[in-house]
Amino acid sequence: MTTRKEQRRIKIKYRVRNKISGTTERPRLTVFRSNKQIYVQIINDETASTLVSASSLGLETMPKKEQAAKVGEMIAEKALAAGITTVVFDRNGYLYHGRVKEVAEGARKGGLKL
């Protein structure tokens, strides 16, 4: 059973996903945020495949916002190695604030265009 807060996020998530999708030229960078970790994937929706992924597993010693920024830099590094330079940012129903914003800024700092 989901709470009202989770239902609200899922509703926002589907509203955002109706407007954006990842293509071969510009895949989708999606963020999942749990209480302890943050996970990021770059997805091509045309082939329904994950191209690159990164997470904060193993970075538990630093504060969460720093973890998120580091994960953004890690995903940018992996994406550039895979030949991906531009992506569409999917905040996955979360507010563009805090850790989600840090991931986006870390990816930009790493060289990705959002």
- pLDDT tens for each residue of 14-66: 999 899 888 888 999 999 999 999 999 999 999 999 999 999 999 999 999 99
Instruction: Tell me the whole-structure pTM to 2 decimals.
Output: 0.90
> In the 8-state DSSP scheme, what is residue 94?
S
Query: Cα separation of 57 and 34, whole Å?
Result: 12
What counts of helices (H) and strands (E) characterise the chain?
3, 4
With cut-offs at 50, 70 and 90, classify the pLDDT of residue 1: confident
Query: Which fold would CATH assign to domain 4-110?
Result: Nucleotidyltransferase; domain 5 (3.30.420)
